[in-house]
Amino acid sequence: MTADLPGPGLNLLAAIGEALDVPAPALDRDAEAAYRLLVEDRLRYVRAVIGDVLAGKATLGIAWEADYLRRKTAERPVTYRQNQDGGRP
């Protein structure tokens, strides 16, 4: 239940969801390779943020961690050709 989670926690979960919500690549090697690299990078960012929070290293706060994740995600936008039918891999 979202009522059990404070606002900063919900904000962080939303940032994680946004970071991992990437469209499926077109069915060609270049797009699929770019997709894999993007997902790996974004997963690395998410793991770092979660690790800091769980280890008590989020000294600037949960909101800062969510903003950091959004900034890092924006640095790695989707640039590959996308699957036109909107499917997920």
Q: What string of H, E and C letters represents the secondary structure of the chain?
A: CHHHCCHHHHHHHHHHHHHHCCCCECCCHHHHHHHHHHHHHHHHHHHHHHHHHHCCCCCCCHHHHHHHHHHHHHHCCCCCCECCCCCCC
* C-beta neighbour count of 1 within 10 angstroms: 4
Phi, psi of 25 (to 5 degrees): -80, 160
Note if the pTM is more than 0.85: yes
Q: What is the pLDDT of residues 25-84, one digit of tens each?
A: 999 999 999 999 999 999 999 999 999 999 999 999 999 999 999 999 999 999 999 998
The pLDDT assigned to 88 comes to 55
